[in-house]
Amino acid sequence: MIDNKLRRILFVCHGNICRSPMAEFVLKALVKAKGLENLYYIESAAVSTEEIGNPIYPPAKRCLTNHGVLFDAGKRARQVTPDDYDRFDRLICMDSSNLRWLHRVIPDDPQKKLHLLMSYTGRGRDVADPWYTGDFETTFQDILEGCEAMLKLPQ
């Protein structure tokens, strides 16, 4: 049985132009397909300031489009803030480096809200950064696997 409590999810990556917005829109698509969009509030943010205000990276947009995942073309990169810890139930990082950076912004995690996306699959490995690999498809598949696994867990 699903309760009616709103689940507030923040995906986090380095610049908020590739992996975290991909995860944001993949999870939004998955919850919409299950008719659960009224139970989720989903955003994404960056640990760095490098891309603040920039749109989703064009190859990430193409990958989402190729998979039929709708996204907000007006999405702009923003940096995670200490207030996000109180605003969200889970802050989900794409890799261990992002998690280390996030601990600089949010040094304490008494409610155990900080996670790696792939930890939901039973594997705590990183989601490869397509900024460096150019392989957006592998990144998409990792994100899809992580988001699907997260939705299967008791809420």
Amino acid letter at 50? E
Q: Residues 84, 95, 126, 129: which is the catalytic one?
A: 129
Q: Is 135 part of the annotated catalytic residue set?
A: no
CA separation for the pair 51, 80 (Å, rounded): 12
CA separation for the pair 120, 147 (Å, rounded): 8
Q: Is 93 part of the annotated catalytic residue set?
A: no
Pairing assessment for the beta strands 90-93 and 114-116 based on DSSP bridges: parallel
Q: Residues 7, 19, 63, 84: which is the catalytic one?
A: 19
CA separation for the pair 18, 130 (Å, rounded): 7
CA separation for the pair 48, 14 (Å, rounded): 6
Q: Is 84 part of the annotated catalytic residue set?
A: no
CA separation for the pair 92, 13 (Å, rounded): 9
Residue among 75, 79, 139, 83 at smallest CA distance from 113: 83
Q: Residues 7, 13, 84, 95: which is the catalytic one?
A: 13
Residues designated catalytic: 13, 19, 129
